[in-house]
Chains A and B, each alone.
Chain A
């Protein structure tokens, strides 16, 4: 498969990233999972090595590489078996910086993107609110104009890097109700009135997931990202790539589960033979491998279309829907294949399963995706690109 999508350069990049991760990340994962956060130093190392902004413009310190380098990047990151780690880097580099790179002014890019790609200034993206769930259009965090400032009140939840990041890219209501009253703003952490608390989660332990409160937070209107009241469309725009990214993560997790399972099966003996001789387990691997292979072909193809400028909102939703379901299934079945060891945290499968099980929830639940897909297919509604 690789030949169609990947060149020799991608392969070299994969090797060097893998070497870096195995040396500087893998030995620390257990510690970071226990700490429920990753240290600042590793962001810096990503920045120094150029791994923070694979596809971002070189002008701001990115590497300006094509989309399939970011595919390689994600595939290798997932092999560390810590969604928390992957998310800590990704919520900054893939979410917060994506908004700044996409809609930020030159000043904002100098202020956030350049130090961000260097791993020195870390961001988060805050959209979800306690009351609204996946219902973006009903966001209630209010940004009231006060001269050339905004006063922000409200709260956000489930925000990766929500406690430790230096700034928050937040969706706020600047206008009337509904989708057309939302804007994106950048809020520096030290601004008075910003507070945050960490949440305990079933998985994603190495990531800091926070609930953020804004209590009369006053920011200059130069912190507005893009145009006022266009926030909803910016969010939607970035959703496609976010969902595609989650689909790739899901496929990569499922593949990791299979790889770990196949290795384990060759070693583990019961009833006098290695368990890779049991037909039931063999067929399970055959079935799940086939499903993962199909899912990966789909995701790769969508990356190709995405890289060629296609607006793949439906397909990205489809891909996230089916791949996250698949990852849960594969991780669950592979965990069970380890017997009692599958349930032990000293073996890799417990964490992999726990981490996978956010997939069908985060970034639009499966039910919300089904709503979008059925609107497009049944009601033939079209979601258009803003630009």
Chain B
């Protein structure tokens, strides 16, 4: 089991989700994060106070997948999330030792296989 953590642009999220669903990836969690990378900084002004915004809005996907599913998942994300401009984000693959499905107590691969 692996955990795929992807940081992507908010504007590509819906496309990425659709691509993932098409690629049979059905379970995932997302959260809003703010990222700093090579992006050009935004300058904002509030009553004479000028600030550089060092952080840009990003979305973080967290997807627990079986080992053989890592590659398709990663490639799907890369394809759907790429705009080619600085700031597209990163994907990290982390090892996972155990997975449980809370509803049933099932473990590992069974825990991430859809049951209907």
Co-complex (A, B) = no
B interface residue numbers (CB < 8 A to A): none
